[in-house]
Structure 1
Amino acid sequence: MSTAREAVPVLLLRPEEVARALRISRSKVYELIRAGELRSVKIGGARRVPAAVLAEFVTRLQEAA
């Protein structure tokens, strides 16, 4: 039996984590969510951005450049 813990992939990111990853403000993340440019989900009262959605968003930015 292995004693090392298996790495669990991060599936959902807090808006603060998205802001840090994109080097933008947290308010800009919420602005992108409200504008429909960045999809998110709500779990209870918490807003989360799926990691796959963030990757798609960055791809769209690259394609538009």
Structure 2
Amino acid sequence: MTEQPARVRYLTVVEVAEIMRVSKMTVYRLLHSGELPGVRVGRSFRVPQDALDHYLATSLPIVPQDAERDTERRSS
């Protein structure tokens, strides 16, 4: 008995936008810049679930500047 490789799940731009809670245009920008890998199928894009998971796991959290200033004041 041979084992078959796991199937890759591909997400639409709308599905990626919903998961990330951003607009479709933001997803398109990420795809066109190469920050988020995807494949073109005809005139639309598909994003591998693994690629989205990796992108989200390796993205740096953004600290609001006000929180940064508060931390500097407390440490002074």
TM-score using structure 1 length? 0.75
Alpha-carbon RMSD across the aligned residues, in angstroms, is 1.5
Pick one of 36, 41, 54 that aligns with 2:52.
54
Amino-acid identity (%): 35
Q: Counterpart in 1 of 2:14?
A: 16
Separation in structure 2 between the aligned mates of residue 29 and residue 36 of structure 1, nearest angstrom: 11
Count of residue correspondences: 55
**Larger CA deviation: 19-28 vs 39-48:** 39-48
**Structure 1 position 33, deviation (Å):** 0.7
Separation in structure 2 between the aligned mates of residue 42 and residue 35 of structure 1, nearest angstrom: 14
- Where does the alignment leave 5 or more consecutive residues of structure 1 unmatched? 1-8
Separation in structure 1 between the aligned mates of residue 8 and residue 16 of structure 2, nearest angstrom: 12
- Where does the alignment leave 5 or more consecutive residues of structure 2 unmatched? 1-6, 62-76
The residue matched to 1:38 in structure 2 has which SS? coil
**Structure 1 position 10, deviation (Å):** 6.8
Separation in structure 1 between the aligned mates of residue 21 and residue 51 of structure 2, nearest angstrom: 17
TM-score using structure 2 length? 0.65
The structure that has the greater radius of gyration is 2
Runs in 1 of length 4+ with deviation above 4 angstroms? Answer: none
